[in-house]
């Protein structure tokens, strides 16, 4: 697979993290194990580690996301990295400079990692192709394509709270069509050997041939949620929708919003997840989002550990074992 010729070194380490598609299970497991070792760090009084001192990370966000950018920034600071947040709206790209020119200028600053978020699918891959191999690229979301670190933090959340993947039935619910998170979650779950991956959505929010990714497709919550061990809700990507894909948000909530009544179709110990930000009363009921089976807040915490793990792996740092 071409993308993995760019992503992986000759000895199977990550050079870039652009997508989870096609990556080996042992590499994903290694990243999760490394993230596991960072989880206690985020609970200590002194949270900073000297692992990547002297290294520089640049957040290159062509698409706004305060939450994701802040998480990458904090994760880098916890590893003692220097961090530069580039405001694309006021940069030279807004004045007519090409993306290649901007990247070459940034490359001259001798950064070690670029974290890239872009509205176009394949943007992170393009940047990885046109930068020196000495700079590692982390895809923080590109169009409808991929969001690998979000999927990894979701996998860490599931593993910590539900155990081995080979026993898990997971349902991903909502706007599958526009969701890069859903695609990355599907790849991760199948690579890690989940027992069953389901998607639940109205037909207008399902990609063509989604079954080819290795999922079972449902259009009714009662059928799709039956006996699942985890329910991952998705945000409605209203900014990406063109045309009348939904009759109304109220109708979507009635049919596909996760309420206590609908959650009753799942296994009694099923957990609930959401990548955020949450649209309460549209995708999920507050009683469920804030309930005892919700892992939405732990997901945020594990996101720091996962991003620390990815950064340290890309730089080749020796992570101390707990």
User: Distance (Å, rounded) from C-alpha 304 to C-alpha 72?
Assistant: 7
Q: Residue 23 CA to chain centroid, in angstroms?
A: 15
CA max distance for the chain: 56
Q: Is 276 annotated as a binding residue?
A: yes
Residue 266 makes CB contacts below 8 A (sequence gap 6+) with 171, 225, 226, 227, 228, 229, 231
Q: 180 a known binding residue?
A: yes
8-46 per-residue burial string, b: 16 or more CB within 10 A, e: under 16? beeeeebbbbbbbbebeeebbebbbebbbbbbebbeeee
Ligand-binding site membership of 68 (annotated):
yes
Is 95 marked within a binding site? yes
Residue 44 among known ligand-binding residues: no
d(CA 289, CA 70): 22
Q: Cis before residue 199, ω within 30 degrees of 0?
A: no
Please name every residue paired with 280 in a beta bridge, in sequence order, or none if there are none.
284
150 labelled ligand-binding: yes
Binding residues for carbamoyl phosphate: 67-68, 117, 147, 150, 276-277
Binding residues: 67-68, 95, 117, 147, 150, 180, 235, 276-277
Binding residues for L-aspartate: 95, 180, 235
């Amino acid at each position: 697979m071409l993308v993995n010729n760019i992503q992986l070194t000759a000895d199977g380490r990550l050079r870039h993290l652009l997508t989870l598609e096609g990556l080996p299970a042992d590499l994903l497991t290694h990243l999760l194990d490394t993230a596991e070792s960072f989880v206690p760090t985020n609970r200590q009084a002194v949270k900073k580690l000297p692992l990547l001192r002297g290294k520089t990370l640049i957040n290159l966000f062509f698409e706004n996301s305060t939450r994701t950018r802040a998480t990458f920034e904090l994760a880098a600071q916890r590893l003692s990295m220097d961090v530069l947040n580039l405001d694309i709206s006021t940069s030279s790209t807004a004045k007519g400079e090409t993306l290649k020119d901007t990247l070459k200028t940034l490359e001259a600053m001798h950064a070690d990692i670029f974290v890239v978020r872009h509205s176009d699918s394949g943007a992170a891959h393009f940047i990885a192709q046109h930068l020196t191999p000495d700079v590692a690229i982390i895809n923080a979301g590109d169009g409808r394509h991929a969001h690998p670190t979000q999927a990894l933090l979701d996998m860490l959340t599931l593993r910590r709270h539900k155990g081995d993947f080979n026993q898990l039935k997971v349902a991903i619910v909502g706007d599958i069509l526009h969701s890069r998170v859903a695609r990355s979650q599907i790849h991760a779950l199948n690579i890690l050997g989940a027992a069953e991956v389901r998607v639940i959505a109205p037909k207008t929010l399902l990609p063509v041939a989604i079954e080819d990714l290795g999922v079972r497709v449902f259009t009714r919550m009662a059928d799709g949620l039956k006996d699942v061990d985890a329910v991952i809700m998705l945000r409605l990507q209203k900014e990406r929708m063109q045309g009348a894909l939904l009759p109304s948000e109220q109708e979507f909530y009635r049919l596909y919003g996760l309420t206590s009544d609908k959650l009753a179709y799942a296994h009694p110990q099923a957990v609930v997840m959401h990548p955020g930000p949450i649209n309460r009363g549209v995708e999920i009921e507050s009683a469920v989002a804030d309930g005892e089976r919700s892992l939405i807040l732990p997901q945020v915490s594990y996101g720091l550990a996962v991003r620390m793990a990815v950064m340290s792996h890309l730089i080749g740092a020796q992570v101390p074992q707990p």
